[in-house]
């Protein structure tokens, strides 16, 4: 939104006795920064998610500060201040224990006639045009994310109708959603994310605007989408956001060509529950969850009468995961681990008694494979009996001495065969080893 389209209205101001934010909830290092800015004659506001969360009675994840001091002026106030960001210049006030208070100067969107002629210079210019608190509030994404807490008066300042939306539990975009989503399509995903995180209803005009602007998200930087996708998992809202993204037509542009089927929906739900129980979000598991159904279907389609050879399942896994990883520039190590979950799952599902089982059970990745099998079993509502069998086999193997192992994908064909006789790929004989076995990593036996 440009300054010219910004409504020039008085803010709603809630004085200290009319809101629930207490300074006790604010990190003391952040308070120190706020006070010093204020005593030095600058405006010092808490902004964004922390104000929203405190008003909702939640503990904020972090505290961001905004001020009318420029980055250089902030630097003169704090010895421990570093100006960061080549494009969007911010002040980082660093404390011991790697704690950083991020201080941004109020910004505004410049009007078109202010922009440099060279398109390459525009982005950096646009992101560093300083403005008033009101302008800064209006360039934010959602009304509930545009609230300020002023350390000078202990009041909450609302230029964008965020207080009303918090009260009505409604998710609204600041300004015209069609315009704001065109400016930055990632806001569409953030709207769905916050609606799910807070359990707020999505304003109808926001839903419609997502529907209309969905294709634009394909133009957003893949690195940003990748990070926002991980945020969904961290906040345990992957299942509802993927559902909403599918319903509004966003999903297929968010991850090019992606479609969610019922098994994926259940896997996403099971993953959100797992994170709620305290499991860390691992990107390789996220990948596996997103593409597992696709993998199973492709394997089934290729199977024919006999069991697929592991080498063939590996090819399928590589094809499916490769496209996504290439698009989002995901490191091969992460892709490799996701692939191990697929191949390991195939092995678990075939049951016990295959070749190389001892080595497979002792491999460090096997417990993770079993965790993934458990996740699938919960999501699909099947495979419990086999899960118990493998759980006790793994428990037994834990007490045995360590053994060698390569990863499933590094296995030679005859090692991958798991004793099967009808594998589709040709089997080669491995020459007999003469010396003692060396320890090596492999879950595949
Ligand atoms: P949380 O940190 O709990 O996920 P948050 O609201 O602090 O929530 P951040 O991603 O940390 O979210 O962003 C901080 C603030 O920056 C937001 O509250 C919002 O005001 C603003 N913001 C973030 N992304 C955008 C965007 N794409 N467009 C406009 N404003 C944005
Ligand atoms: Mg934040």
pLDDT tens readout for residues 384-443: 999 999 999 998 888 766 555 555 455 443 344 333 223 334 344 455 544 444 444 434
Enumerate the H helices of 104-261 as residue ranges.
119-126, 133-138, 162-168, 177-183, 186-198, 204-213, 222-234, 238-247, 251-254
Nearest protein Cα to ligand 1, atom 5: 49
Nearest protein Cα to ligand 1, atom 21: 140
- Active site (annotated) includes residue 64: yes
Ligand nearest the Cα of residue 53 is 1
- 151 with 13, same domain: the answer is yes
- 20 with 146, same domain: the answer is yes
pLDDT for 440 equals 40
- Active site (annotated) includes residue 165: no
Are 156 and 163 within 8 A, CB to CB? yes
- 291 with 157, same domain: the answer is no
Q: Would you say residue 4 has pLDDT above 80?
A: no
Residue 187 Cα to ligand 1 midpoint, Å, equals 9
Find the domain containing 325 and state its range: 283-416
- 3 with 141, same domain: the answer is yes
Determine, yes or no, domain membership for 224: no
Q: Which of 53, 141, 158, 312 is catalytic?
A: 141
pLDDT for 136 equals 96
* Long-range CB pairs of 348-353, under 8 A, 24+ apart, other chains included: 348/373, 348/386, 348/390, 349/373, 349/383, 349/386, 350/307, 350/418, 350/420, 351/386, 351/389, 352/389, 352/390, 352/393, 353/419
pLDDT range class, residue 109, cuts 50, 70, 90 = confident
Nearest protein Cα to ligand 1, atom 15: 48
Residue 222 Cα to ligand 1 midpoint, Å, equals 18
Residue 197 Cα to ligand 1 midpoint, Å, equals 13
The larger pLDDT score, comparing residue 112 to residue 179, is at 179
Ligand 1 binding pocket, CB closer than 6 Å: 48-49, 61, 64, 140-141, 145-146, 184, 186-187
Q: Rounded mean pLDDT of 261-278? A: 97
- 22 with 164, same domain: the answer is yes
Mapped onto helix, strand or coil, the DSSP state of residue 431 is: coil
Pick from 109, 133, 168: which residue ends a domain?
168
User: 95 has which bridge partners?
Assistant: 99
Q: CATH code at 129?
A: 3.30.460.10
Least confident span in 14-23, 188-197, 333-342, 413-422: 413-422
Ligand nearest the Cα of residue 189 is 1
Q: Which of 53, 64, 165, 312 is catalytic?
A: 64
Determine, yes or no, domain membership for 257: no
Pick from 168, 186, 212: which residue ends a domain?
168
pLDDT for 406 equals 55
pLDDT for 382 equals 93
- 288 with 159, same domain: the answer is no
Number of domains making up the chain: 2
Q: Rounded mean pLDDT of 45-53? A: 97
Residue 47 Cα to ligand 1 midpoint, Å, equals 9
Determine, yes or no, domain membership for 44: yes
Q: Would you say residue 282 has pLDDT above 90?
A: yes
**How buried is 351 (Cβ within 10 angstroms: 0-12 exposed, 13-18 middle, 19+ buried)?**
exposed
Q: Rounded mean pLDDT of 357-369? A: 90
pLDDT for 7 equals 66
Determine, yes or no, domain membership for 188: no
Ligand 1, residue 183: give the atom nearest the CA. 28
Residue 49 Cα to ligand 1 midpoint, Å, equals 6
Q: Could you tell me whether strands 155-158 and 12-14 are parallel, antiparallel, or unpaired per DSSP bridges?
A: antiparallel
pLDDT for 114 equals 83
Share of the chain above pLDDT 70, in %: 87
pLDDT for 308 equals 86
Ligand 1, residue 52: give the atom nearest the CA. 6
Ligand nearest the Cα of residue 49 is 1
- Active site (annotated) includes residue 371: no
pLDDT by residue (tens digit) across 286-310?
999 999 999 999 999 888 777 888 8
Determine, yes or no, domain membership for 24: yes
Determine, yes or no, domain membership for 225: no
Nearest protein Cα to ligand 1, atom 26: 141
pLDDT by residue (tens digit) across 205-238?
999 999 999 999 999 999 999 999 999 999 999 9
């Amino acid at each position: 939104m440009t300054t010219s389209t910004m409504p020039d209205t008085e803010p709603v101001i809630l004085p200290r006795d009319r809101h629930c934010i207490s300074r006790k909830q604010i990190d003391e290092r952040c308070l120190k920064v706020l006070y010093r800015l204020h005593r030095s004659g600058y405006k010092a506001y808490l902004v964004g998610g922390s104000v929203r969360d405190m008003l909702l009675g939640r503990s904020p994840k972090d505290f961001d500060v905004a001020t009318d001091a420029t980055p250089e002026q902030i630097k003169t106030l704090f010895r421990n201040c570093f100006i960061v960001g080549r494009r969007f210049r911010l002040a980082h006030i660093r404390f011991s224990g790697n704690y950083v208070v991020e201080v941004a100067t109020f910004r505004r969107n410049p009007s078109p006639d202010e922009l440099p002629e060279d398109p390459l210079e525009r982005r950096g210019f646009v992101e560093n045009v300083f403005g008033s608190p009101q302008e800064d509030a209006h360039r934010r994404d959602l009304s509930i994310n545009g609230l300020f807490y002023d350390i000078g008066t202990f009041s909450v300042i609302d230029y964008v109708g965020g207080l009303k939306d918090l009260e009505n539990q409604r998710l609204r975009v600041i300004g015209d959603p069609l315009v704001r989503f065109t400016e930055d399509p990632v806001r569409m995903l953030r709207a769905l994310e916050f609606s799910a995180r807070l359990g707020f209803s999505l304003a109808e005009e926001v839903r419609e605007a997502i529907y209309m602007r969905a294709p634009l998200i394909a133009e957003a930087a893949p690195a940003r989408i990748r990070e926002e996708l991980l945020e969904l998992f961290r906040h345990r809202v992957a299942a509802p956001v993927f559902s909403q993204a599918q319903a509004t037509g966003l999903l297929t542009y968010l991850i090019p060509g992606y479609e969610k089927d019922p098994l994926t929906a259940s896997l996403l739900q099971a993953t959100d529950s797992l994170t709620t129980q305290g499991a860390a979000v691992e990107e390789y598991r996220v990948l596996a969850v997103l593409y597992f159904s696709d993998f199973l279907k492709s394997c089934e389609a290729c199977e024919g009468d006999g069991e697929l050879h592991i080498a063939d399942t590996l090819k399928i896994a590589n094809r499916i995961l490769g496209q996504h990883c290439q698009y989002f520039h995901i490191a091969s190590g992460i892709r490799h681990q996701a692939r191990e979950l697929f191949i390991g799952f195939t092995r678990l599902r075939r049951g016990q008694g295959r070749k190389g089982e001892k080595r497979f059970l002792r491999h460090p990745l096997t417990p993770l494979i079993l965790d993934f099998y458990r996740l699938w079993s919960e999501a699909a509502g099947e495979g419990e009996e086999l899960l118990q069998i493998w759980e006790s086999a793994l428990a037994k193997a834990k007490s045995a001495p360590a053994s060698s192992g390569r990863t499933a994908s590094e296995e030679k064909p005859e090692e991958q065969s798991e004793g099967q006789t009808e594998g589709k790929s040709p089997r080669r004989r491995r020459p007999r080893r003469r010396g003692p076995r060396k320890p090596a990593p492999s879950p595949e036996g």
